[in-house]
Each structure stands twice: as C-alpha cells, then as structure tokens.
C-alpha cells in the first residue's frame, strides 16, 4: 500500500504538471486525435469504393475501429513510456531504478505520463457514440457491459503485449523497432476485421498475439452476427480470460528479463 501511495503521488504530480499549461495540453491532445483520425479517414475512403470489407459493412468496421482505438489510447497512456526502455538500459539509468525500493515496471510507467495520448481514445469514443446512435447495437444489459468493459480489457491485452515486446530490449541493443512493430503496429491489425488478413496472419492475431480479442470478437458479440470465418462462438466472450493470460505471460517475461539483467556495464 505504501508503494501504491508513492506511485499515486508521482502520477498526481505528472497530471498537475501537464494541466498547468492547458493550451499546450489541448494542442498536444489535438495532434494525437488527428493522428488517430487519419486511420478513420482511410476506412471512410475505402468504403466510398466498396460496400463491405472482409464481409463487414461500414458501421460494423467502424465499431471495431472505435473499440480498438479507445483500447490502444488507454494502453498507450498506461505503458507507452516503455518505449524509452532501450535508452534507460543503454545510458545506465535503469540501474538507478533497480537501486530504489520500488518495482522497476511501476517506476518506468509513471516516469513520463502523457495525458495527450487520451486524444486517441477520444476519437474512438466519438466514433463509438456515432455507431451506437445509428442503432447498430441492440441496447441490452449484456451489450452495455461489453461496451464499458471491452476497452478496458482491450487496453489490458495491448498493455501486456507492450510489456512483452519491450522486454526484448534486455537482450537486443536496439529492440525498440521490433517492439513498435507489435505495439504501434497493432493499431492496424486490431482496427480491422481479421477476415481481411491471410490465414497465417489470422493465426498470429488469434493465438500468438491475441489482437483479435481487443475488438474483433467483442464486436461480433455486440453486433450479434456470425463470424464469417466460422470460428467458435465462445471466442467472442473470451477476451477477459485472454487478458488474464496475457498479463500472466507479460509478468513472467518481464521478471525473467529483469532477473537476468546484469547492468549497463556488463
């Protein structure tokens, strides 16, 4: 509990520091929102030429995009600071964190909280509201629970992937690009129906890197429609279990990496 209070105070100071300059914060958030909106524009341009994509109509793809966008924005806010892990290792700053009586991972994720990253989630939230207003999702208690829980579960899955891929930096000198291929690259693979990808990539997204559980399978549940790939019906409700498994794997990989780390001078 003492550690939690320390980290809460650190996060509070980060938030107050950024909100102290509201114009700068607003412009930074707008930049993040515009970056996310570019992907939205691509989807709209595609549907100006076709009626369906991978067997899904425009509003159905927008639902997947919205859930994925909110999830990614939350994950980026929570653990996006791990992108700087290679620099911390290379400069020896990580050794300073190891000497403190606090967990290394919590110190890293609270080192540079960037509230502007919520701009990504804001775009997804607006698109989600528009899809719901269009009546594409039946207003039931289960769907309400899915709409609230899916972004949180999706952010947990993406965050776990972030931790696992960034842990490569303990063994690879410049592991940032490899990590980015799975983290920022997930914005593409999770925002579209997996039915548009080839068989090998679908297997990767469903089983090795569980990106399909971020938005695709929950969207099938919300839309109450069959999976064009014929995958088991139970998968559309399996995201919470997948998130738990992803967190356990991430914790194992992270602790193994830190345990074998011998310092910048080794």
Percent of the chain clearing pLDDT 90 (strictly above)? 36
Please give the residue that has the higher pLDDT: either 48 or 174: 48
Kindly give the residue spans of alpha helices, DSSP state H, lying in the chain.
2-19, 22-47, 58-79, 85-91, 93-98, 104-109, 118-133, 141-166, 176-183, 186-189, 199-203, 216-223, 239-260
Average pLDDT, the chain: 84
- Rounded Cα–Cα distance for residues 27 and 48 (Å): 30
Dihedral pair phi/psi, residue 56, rounded to 5°: -120, 140
The DSSP string of 92-129 is THHHHHHTSSS-HHHHHHTSS--GGGHHHHHHHHHHHH
97 Cβ partners below 8 Å, 6+ apart? Answer: 88, 104, 107, 108
The conformation of residue 73, written as its DSSP 8-state character, comes to H
Give the model confidence (pLDDT) of 233-250 as tens digits. 999 999 999 999 999 999
Confidence band of 258 (pLDDT split at 50, 70, 90)? confident
66 Cβ partners below 8 Å, 6+ apart? Answer: 124, 125, 127, 128, 131, 215
Confidence band of 2 (pLDDT split at 50, 70, 90)? low
Across 18-27, 107-116, 163-172, which has the greatest mean pLDDT?
163-172
Please give the residue that has the higher pLDDT: either 23 or 105: 105
Percent of the chain clearing pLDDT 70 (strictly above)? 86
Give the model confidence (pLDDT) of 48-105 as tens digits. 899 899 889 999 999 999 999 999 988 988 888 888 888 888 888 888 888 877 778 8
Of 167-176, 208-217, 249-258, the range with the lowest mean pLDDT is 167-176
119 Cβ partners below 8 Å, 6+ apart? Answer: 28, 29, 30, 31, 32, 33, 35, 36, 73
Give the model confidence (pLDDT) of 214-228 as tens digits. 999 999 999 999 899
Whether residue 3 contacts residue 106, with contact meaning beta carbons closer than 8 Å, is answered with: yes
Whether residue 175 is predicted with pLDDT greater than 70 in this model: the reply is no
Sequence ranges of the domains in the chain = 2-7+24-260
* pLDDT value of position 199: 87
């Amino acid at each position: 509990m003492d550690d939690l209070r320390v980290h809460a105070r650190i996060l509070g100071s980060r938030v107050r520091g950024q909100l102290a300059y509201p114009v700068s914060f607003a412009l930074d958030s707008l930049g993040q929102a515009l970056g996310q909106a570019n992907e939205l524009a691509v989807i709209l341009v595609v549907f100006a030429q076709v009626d369906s994509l991978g067997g899904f109509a425009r509003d159905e793809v927008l639902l997947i995009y919205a859930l994925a966008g909110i999830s990614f924005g939350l994950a980026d806010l929570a653990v996006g600071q791990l992108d700087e892990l290679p620099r911390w290792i290379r400069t020896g700053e990580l050794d300073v964190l190891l000497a403190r009586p606090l967990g290394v991972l919590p110190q890293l994720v609270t080192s540079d909280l960037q509230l502007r990253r919520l701009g990504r989630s804001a775009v997804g939230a607006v698109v989600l509201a528009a899809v719901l207003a269009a009546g594409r999702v039946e207003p039931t208690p289960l769907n309400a629970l899915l709409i609230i829980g899916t972004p949180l579960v999706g952010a947990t899955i993406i965050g776990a992937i972030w931790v696992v891929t960034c842990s490569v930096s303990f063994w690879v000198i410049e592991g940032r690009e490899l990590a980015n291929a799975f983290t920022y690259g997930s914005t593409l693979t999770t925002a579209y129906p997996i039915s548009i990808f080839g068989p090998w990539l679908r297997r990767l997204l469903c089983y090795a890197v569980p990106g399909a559980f971020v938005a695709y399978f929950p969207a099938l549940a919300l839309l109450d429609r069959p999976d064009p790939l014929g995958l088991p019906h139970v998968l559309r409700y399996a995201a919470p279990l997948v998130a738990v498994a992803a967190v356990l794997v991430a914790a194992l990989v992270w602790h193994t990496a830190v345990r074998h780390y011998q310092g910048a001078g080794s």
